[in-house]
Structure 1
Protein backbone atom coordinates (compact mmCIF):
# COMPACT_ATOMS: atom_id res chain seq x y z
CA UNK A 1 0.00 0.00 0.00
CA UNK A 2 1.44 3.39 -0.88
CA UNK A 3 1.89 5.39 2.31
CA UNK A 4 1.81 8.69 0.39
CA UNK A 5 -2.00 8.47 0.03
CA UNK A 6 -2.63 6.91 3.44
CA UNK A 7 -4.12 8.88 6.30
CA UNK A 8 -3.50 7.66 9.83
CA UNK A 9 -5.99 8.05 12.67
CA UNK A 10 -4.60 7.52 16.15
CA UNK A 11 -6.90 6.47 19.00
CA UNK A 12 -6.93 8.93 21.90
CA UNK A 13 -7.40 7.08 25.22
CA UNK A 14 -10.44 7.27 27.49
CA UNK A 15 -12.86 8.53 24.84
CA UNK A 16 -15.77 6.79 23.09
CA UNK A 17 -14.48 5.36 19.81
CA UNK A 18 -16.81 7.54 17.70
CA UNK A 19 -14.89 10.66 18.83
CA UNK A 20 -11.53 9.14 19.84
CA UNK A 21 -9.78 9.40 16.47
CA UNK A 22 -7.08 12.02 16.02
CA UNK A 23 -5.62 12.41 12.52
CA UNK A 24 -1.85 12.40 12.42
CA UNK A 25 -0.92 15.53 10.42
CA UNK A 26 0.92 14.93 7.16
CA UNK A 27 3.72 17.34 8.11
CA UNK A 28 4.33 15.44 11.36
CA UNK A 29 4.45 12.19 9.43
CA UNK A 30 7.29 13.46 7.24
CA UNK A 31 9.68 13.13 10.19
CA UNK A 32 7.97 10.14 11.80
CA UNK A 33 9.67 6.76 11.85
CA UNK A 34 7.58 4.06 10.20
CA UNK A 35 7.33 0.48 11.41
CA UNK A 36 6.28 -2.53 9.38
CA UNK A 37 3.51 -4.63 10.93
CA UNK A 38 1.77 -7.74 9.59
CA UNK A 39 -1.48 -7.27 7.65
CA UNK A 40 -3.06 -10.59 8.59
CA UNK A 41 -6.16 -10.50 6.39
CA UNK A 42 -9.68 -9.12 6.60
CA UNK A 43 -12.22 -8.68 9.36
CA UNK A 44 -15.94 -8.32 8.80
CA UNK A 45 -17.76 -5.21 9.92
CA UNK A 46 -21.05 -6.94 9.19
CA UNK A 47 -21.86 -10.61 9.20
CA UNK A 48 -18.92 -12.66 10.52
CA UNK A 49 -16.59 -14.06 7.85
CA UNK A 50 -14.30 -17.04 7.83
CA UNK A 51 -10.92 -16.30 9.36
CA UNK A 52 -8.22 -16.50 6.67
CA UNK A 53 -4.69 -15.40 7.32
CA UNK A 54 -2.62 -13.42 4.83
CA UNK A 55 1.07 -12.72 5.01
CA UNK A 56 1.19 -9.13 3.76
CA UNK A 57 2.48 -6.14 5.71
CA UNK A 58 1.85 -2.43 6.03
CA UNK A 59 3.98 0.49 7.24
CA UNK A 60 2.47 2.63 9.99
CA UNK A 61 3.82 5.41 12.23
CA UNK A 62 5.90 3.91 15.04
CA UNK A 63 3.76 5.67 17.67
CA UNK A 64 0.82 3.45 16.60
CA UNK A 65 2.75 0.24 17.32
CA UNK A 66 2.90 -1.51 20.67
CA UNK A 67 4.16 -5.00 21.52
CA UNK A 68 1.71 -7.26 19.70
CA UNK A 69 0.37 -5.06 16.92
CA UNK A 70 -1.09 -6.21 13.63
CA UNK A 71 -3.46 -4.90 10.97
CA UNK A 72 -6.69 -6.13 9.36
CA UNK A 73 -8.63 -4.79 6.37
CA UNK A 74 -12.27 -3.93 7.17
CA UNK A 75 -15.03 -5.41 5.02
CA UNK A 76 -18.52 -3.99 5.63
CA UNK A 77 -20.38 -1.08 7.20
CA UNK A 78 -21.34 -2.20 10.71
CA UNK A 79 -18.87 0.16 12.44
CA UNK A 80 -19.52 3.41 10.54
CA UNK A 81 -20.82 5.22 13.65
CA UNK A 82 -17.34 4.64 15.17
CA UNK A 83 -15.74 6.21 12.08
CA UNK A 84 -14.50 2.84 10.76
CA UNK A 85 -15.47 2.26 7.13
CA UNK A 86 -15.37 -0.49 4.52
CA UNK A 87 -11.85 -0.58 3.05
CA UNK A 88 -10.12 0.94 6.11
CA UNK A 89 -7.19 -0.92 7.63
CA UNK A 90 -7.47 -1.14 11.41
CA UNK A 91 -4.46 -1.32 13.71
CA UNK A 92 -5.05 -3.96 16.39
CA UNK A 93 -3.31 -4.53 19.70
CA UNK A 94 -3.46 -8.27 20.39
CA UNK A 95 -5.36 -8.86 23.65
CA UNK A 96 -7.43 -11.74 24.98
CA UNK A 97 -9.95 -9.67 26.91
CA UNK A 98 -11.99 -6.51 26.41
CA UNK A 99 -13.76 -4.14 28.74
CA UNK A 100 -17.52 -3.76 28.43
CA UNK A 101 -18.29 -1.58 25.39
CA UNK A 102 -14.84 -1.76 23.79
CA UNK A 103 -14.47 -2.28 20.05
CA UNK A 104 -12.82 -5.64 19.56
CA UNK A 105 -11.91 -8.18 16.92
CA UNK A 106 -13.71 -11.33 18.04
CA UNK A 107 -13.45 -14.92 16.81
CA UNK A 108 -16.72 -16.87 16.89
CA UNK A 109 -16.65 -20.67 17.31
CA UNK A 110 -12.94 -20.79 16.33
CA UNK A 111 -13.74 -20.07 12.69
CA UNK A 112 -15.30 -16.67 11.96
CA UNK A 113 -14.07 -13.18 12.84
CA UNK A 114 -15.95 -9.93 13.23
CA UNK A 115 -15.37 -6.38 14.44
CA UNK A 116 -17.95 -5.22 16.98
CA UNK A 117 -18.48 -3.49 20.31
CA UNK A 118 -18.45 -6.17 23.01
CA UNK A 119 -20.94 -6.12 25.87
CA UNK A 120 -21.01 -8.69 28.67
CA UNK A 121 -24.58 -9.49 29.73
CA UNK A 122 -26.19 -11.93 32.17
CA UNK A 123 -27.07 -14.41 29.42
CA UNK A 124 -23.72 -14.18 27.57
CA UNK A 125 -22.22 -11.59 25.25
CA UNK A 126 -23.70 -9.08 22.83
CA UNK A 127 -21.67 -8.10 19.78
CA UNK A 128 -23.10 -4.69 18.93
CA UNK A 129 -22.62 -3.02 15.54
CA UNK A 130 -22.02 0.74 15.43
CA UNK A 131 -24.66 1.11 12.73
CA UNK A 132 -28.27 1.40 13.84
CA UNK A 133 -29.54 -0.39 10.72
CA UNK A 134 -27.81 -3.63 11.82
CA UNK A 135 -28.86 -6.04 14.57
CA UNK A 136 -26.60 -7.20 17.41
CA UNK A 137 -25.30 -10.78 17.61
CA UNK A 138 -25.99 -12.65 20.88
CA UNK A 139 -23.68 -15.52 21.86
CA UNK A 140 -22.56 -17.57 24.85
CA UNK A 141 -19.27 -16.58 26.47
CA UNK A 142 -17.78 -19.91 25.41
CA UNK A 143 -18.55 -19.19 21.72
CA UNK A 144 -16.23 -16.20 21.44
CA UNK A 145 -12.57 -15.37 21.81
CA UNK A 146 -11.30 -11.77 21.89
CA UNK A 147 -8.35 -11.39 19.52
CA UNK A 148 -7.55 -7.71 19.98
CA UNK A 149 -8.66 -4.11 20.38
CA UNK A 150 -8.72 -1.34 17.77
CA UNK A 151 -5.93 1.21 18.34
CA UNK A 152 -5.79 3.00 14.99
CA UNK A 153 -7.14 3.33 11.47
CA UNK A 154 -5.37 3.68 8.14
CA UNK A 155 -7.63 5.23 5.49
CA UNK A 156 -6.70 5.20 1.83
CA UNK A 157 -7.19 7.84 -0.86
CA UNK A 158 -10.15 10.20 -1.23
CA UNK A 159 -12.15 8.72 1.70
CA UNK A 160 -9.58 10.19 4.05
CA UNK A 161 -10.17 13.81 3.12
Structure 2
Protein backbone atom coordinates (compact mmCIF):
# COMPACT_ATOMS: atom_id res chain seq x y z
CA UNK A 1 0.00 0.00 0.00
CA UNK A 2 1.52 3.38 -0.97
CA UNK A 3 2.40 5.85 1.77
CA UNK A 4 0.40 9.10 1.78
CA UNK A 5 1.84 12.44 2.80
CA UNK A 6 0.50 15.97 2.83
CA UNK A 7 1.87 19.02 1.05
CA UNK A 8 0.98 22.31 2.70
CA UNK A 9 0.48 25.42 0.57
CA UNK A 10 0.19 28.78 2.33
CA UNK A 11 -1.36 31.77 0.62
CA UNK A 12 0.78 34.89 0.33
CA UNK A 13 -1.31 38.08 0.62
CA UNK A 14 -1.91 40.60 -2.16
CA UNK A 15 -1.21 38.23 -5.05
CA UNK A 16 -3.58 36.57 -7.53
CA UNK A 17 -4.47 33.18 -6.07
CA UNK A 18 -2.92 31.24 -8.96
CA UNK A 19 0.47 32.78 -8.06
CA UNK A 20 0.04 33.20 -4.29
CA UNK A 21 1.09 29.78 -2.96
CA UNK A 22 4.29 28.97 -1.08
CA UNK A 23 5.11 25.44 0.02
CA UNK A 24 5.53 24.88 3.74
CA UNK A 25 8.01 22.15 4.52
CA UNK A 26 11.00 21.62 6.76
CA UNK A 27 10.48 22.82 10.36
CA UNK A 28 7.01 24.28 9.60
CA UNK A 29 5.59 20.89 8.58
CA UNK A 30 7.06 18.64 11.30
CA UNK A 31 4.78 16.95 13.82
CA UNK A 32 5.70 19.28 16.70
CA UNK A 33 4.56 22.32 14.68
CA UNK A 34 1.23 20.82 13.55
CA UNK A 35 -2.08 21.78 15.16
CA UNK A 36 -5.58 20.34 14.83
CA UNK A 37 -8.30 22.41 13.19
CA UNK A 38 -11.92 21.40 12.46
CA UNK A 39 -12.57 19.71 9.11
CA UNK A 40 -16.22 20.70 8.77
CA UNK A 41 -17.17 18.79 5.62
CA UNK A 42 -17.00 19.38 1.87
CA UNK A 43 -17.36 22.35 -0.43
CA UNK A 44 -18.19 22.17 -4.10
CA UNK A 45 -15.77 23.49 -6.68
CA UNK A 46 -18.40 23.07 -9.36
CA UNK A 47 -22.15 23.15 -8.98
CA UNK A 48 -23.15 24.16 -5.44
CA UNK A 49 -23.84 21.27 -3.05
CA UNK A 50 -25.99 21.10 0.05
CA UNK A 51 -24.16 22.22 3.18
CA UNK A 52 -23.42 19.24 5.43
CA UNK A 53 -21.41 19.69 8.60
CA UNK A 54 -18.91 17.09 9.77
CA UNK A 55 -16.91 16.97 12.98
CA UNK A 56 -13.48 15.64 11.96
CA UNK A 57 -10.14 17.40 12.40
CA UNK A 58 -7.00 17.79 10.27
CA UNK A 59 -3.42 18.57 11.34
CA UNK A 60 -1.83 21.59 9.67
CA UNK A 61 1.23 23.77 10.34
CA UNK A 62 0.60 26.40 13.02
CA UNK A 63 1.52 29.15 10.52
CA UNK A 64 -1.68 28.35 8.61
CA UNK A 65 -3.95 28.90 11.62
CA UNK A 66 -5.43 32.21 12.71
CA UNK A 67 -8.25 32.73 15.19
CA UNK A 68 -11.27 31.48 13.18
CA UNK A 69 -9.71 28.82 10.99
CA UNK A 70 -11.38 25.68 9.69
CA UNK A 71 -10.97 23.29 6.78
CA UNK A 72 -13.20 21.93 4.00
CA UNK A 73 -12.57 19.14 1.48
CA UNK A 74 -12.91 20.27 -2.15
CA UNK A 75 -15.22 18.35 -4.49
CA UNK A 76 -14.94 19.29 -8.18
CA UNK A 77 -12.67 21.05 -10.65
CA UNK A 78 -13.93 24.63 -10.94
CA UNK A 79 -10.86 26.12 -9.20
CA UNK A 80 -8.03 24.30 -10.98
CA UNK A 81 -6.57 27.51 -12.45
CA UNK A 82 -6.03 28.69 -8.84
CA UNK A 83 -4.14 25.47 -8.02
CA UNK A 84 -7.07 24.03 -6.02
CA UNK A 85 -8.02 20.52 -7.12
CA UNK A 86 -10.66 17.87 -6.40
CA UNK A 87 -9.74 16.12 -3.13
CA UNK A 88 -7.65 19.00 -1.73
CA UNK A 89 -8.46 20.31 1.73
CA UNK A 90 -8.70 24.10 1.84
CA UNK A 91 -7.87 26.11 4.93
CA UNK A 92 -10.48 28.83 5.47
CA UNK A 93 -10.40 31.94 7.62
CA UNK A 94 -13.98 32.64 8.73
CA UNK A 95 -15.07 36.05 7.38
CA UNK A 96 -18.42 37.55 6.45
CA UNK A 97 -17.20 39.71 3.58
CA UNK A 98 -14.84 39.44 0.64
CA UNK A 99 -13.05 41.90 -1.60
CA UNK A 100 -13.81 41.89 -5.32
CA UNK A 101 -12.00 38.94 -6.92
CA UNK A 102 -11.31 37.08 -3.64
CA UNK A 103 -11.68 33.30 -3.57
CA UNK A 104 -14.41 32.63 -1.05
CA UNK A 105 -16.61 29.90 0.38
CA UNK A 106 -20.13 31.16 -0.27
CA UNK A 107 -23.49 29.89 0.98
CA UNK A 108 -26.33 30.29 -1.53
CA UNK A 109 -29.91 30.69 -0.27
CA UNK A 110 -28.94 29.36 3.18
CA UNK A 111 -28.55 25.81 1.88
CA UNK A 112 -25.87 25.25 -0.79
CA UNK A 113 -22.14 25.95 -0.45
CA UNK A 114 -19.63 26.60 -3.23
CA UNK A 115 -16.05 27.77 -3.68
CA UNK A 116 -15.63 30.53 -6.28
CA UNK A 117 -14.07 33.91 -6.98
CA UNK A 118 -16.57 36.57 -5.90
CA UNK A 119 -17.22 39.67 -7.99
CA UNK A 120 -19.65 42.43 -7.03
CA UNK A 121 -21.36 43.86 -10.10
CA UNK A 122 -24.12 46.41 -10.74
CA UNK A 123 -26.76 43.72 -11.18
CA UNK A 124 -25.66 41.59 -8.20
CA UNK A 125 -22.92 39.05 -7.58
CA UNK A 126 -20.94 36.87 -10.00
CA UNK A 127 -19.41 33.68 -8.66
CA UNK A 128 -16.62 32.96 -11.13
CA UNK A 129 -14.96 29.55 -11.46
CA UNK A 130 -11.21 29.39 -12.09
CA UNK A 131 -11.74 26.94 -14.96
CA UNK A 132 -12.42 28.32 -18.43
CA UNK A 133 -14.72 25.38 -19.26
CA UNK A 134 -17.19 26.31 -16.51
CA UNK A 135 -19.77 29.10 -16.53
CA UNK A 136 -20.13 31.73 -13.80
CA UNK A 137 -23.12 31.80 -11.44
CA UNK A 138 -25.07 35.09 -11.25
CA UNK A 139 -27.07 35.88 -8.11
CA UNK A 140 -28.62 38.75 -6.18
CA UNK A 141 -26.60 40.07 -3.23
CA UNK A 142 -29.32 38.87 -0.86
CA UNK A 143 -28.96 35.27 -2.15
CA UNK A 144 -25.43 34.79 -0.85
CA UNK A 145 -23.52 34.79 2.42
CA UNK A 146 -19.72 34.78 2.52
CA UNK A 147 -18.50 32.13 4.98
CA UNK A 148 -14.75 32.59 4.63
CA UNK A 149 -11.68 33.12 2.47
CA UNK A 150 -9.13 30.56 1.28
CA UNK A 151 -5.83 30.90 3.17
CA UNK A 152 -4.17 27.56 2.43
CA UNK A 153 -4.36 24.14 0.80
CA UNK A 154 -3.50 20.68 2.08
CA UNK A 155 -2.83 18.26 -0.78
CA UNK A 156 -2.70 14.55 0.00
CA UNK A 157 -0.25 12.79 -2.30
CA UNK A 158 0.72 9.16 -2.63
CA UNK A 159 4.36 8.16 -2.58
CA UNK A 160 5.31 5.35 -4.93
CA UNK A 161 6.24 2.25 -2.96
Q: TM-score range by the shorter chain?
A: over 0.9
Runs of 4+ in 1 over 4 A off after TM superposition: none
Distance 1:126 1:86 in 2: 22
Match of 2:110 in 1: 110
Alpha-carbon distance, 1:8 to partner: 0.2
Q: Secondary structure at the match of 1:142?
A: helix
Match of 2:135 in 1: 135
Q: Are residue 39 (structure 1) and residue 39 (structure 2) matched?
A: yes
| Contact kept in structure 2, 1:32 and 1:62, CA below 8 Å | no
Match of 1:58 in 2: 58
Distance 1:36 1:93 in 2: 14
Count of residues paired in the alignment: 157
- TM-score, normalized by length of structure 1? 0.93
Change (3 A) 1:156 1:69: same
Q: Are residue 76 (structure 1) and residue 81 (structure 2) matched?
A: no
The structure whose residues are more often strand, as a share, is 2
Q: Secondary structure at the match of 2:142?
A: helix
Question: What does residue range 118-129 of structure 1 map to in structure 2 within 5 Å?
Answer: 118-129=118-129
Alpha-carbon distance, 1:102 to partner: 0.1
Unaligned runs of 5+ in 1: none
Alpha-carbon distance, 1:114 to partner: 0.1
Distance 1:31 1:75 in 2: 27
| Contact kept in structure 1, 2:8 and 2:29, CA below 8 Å | no
Q: Secondary structure at the match of 2:19?
A: helix
- TM-score, normalized by length of structure 2? 0.93
| Contact kept in structure 1, 2:28 and 2:63, CA below 8 Å | no
C-alpha root-mean-square deviation of aligned residues, in Å? 1.6
Distance 2:30 2:43 in 1: 30
